[in-house]
Amino acid sequence: QVQLVESGGGLVQAGGSLRLSCAASGSIFRALGWYRQAPGRQRELVATITAYTTNYADSVKGRFTISTDNAKNSVHLAMNSLKPEDTAVYYCNVHTRYSDNDYWGQGTQVTVSS
């Protein structure tokens, strides 16, 4: 059974930094990533990572960095130069290698004050 445990959200002033982490267990993962959902908006991709590539939303390029550990069972998101528009609930997402399924974390709130 896949389990995801997120940590690291919080309140920060504009220009500040936060680091999100997601510990994943229960399977082998082909891709890991972060998505976010602001009030009244659809969930959107923030960043994803596989063994070969990383992918970022245009709005976070140059400010956010996604990474994993060597075992590919933890994914982190370093967020710098945060803006009020980055305020959202951030969700960890993993895609399993063999069963080809997606799983979501419970979400962690990130609030950036101006």
Burial class (CB in 10 A: 0-12, 13-18, 19+), 98: exposed
| Structure token pair of residue 62 | 């140059």
Average pLDDT over every residue of 105-111: 97
18-25 and 74-79 strand pairing: antiparallel
What is the tens place of the pLDDT at every residue in 6-47? 999 999 999 999 999 999 998 889 899 999 999 999 999 999
Is residue 53 within a helix (H) or strand (E), and if so which, with residue range? none
d(CA 12, CA 78): 13
What is the tens place of the pLDDT at every residue in 44-79? 999 999 989 999 999 999 999 999 987 778 999 999
Q: Is the pLDDT of residue 95 over 80?
A: yes
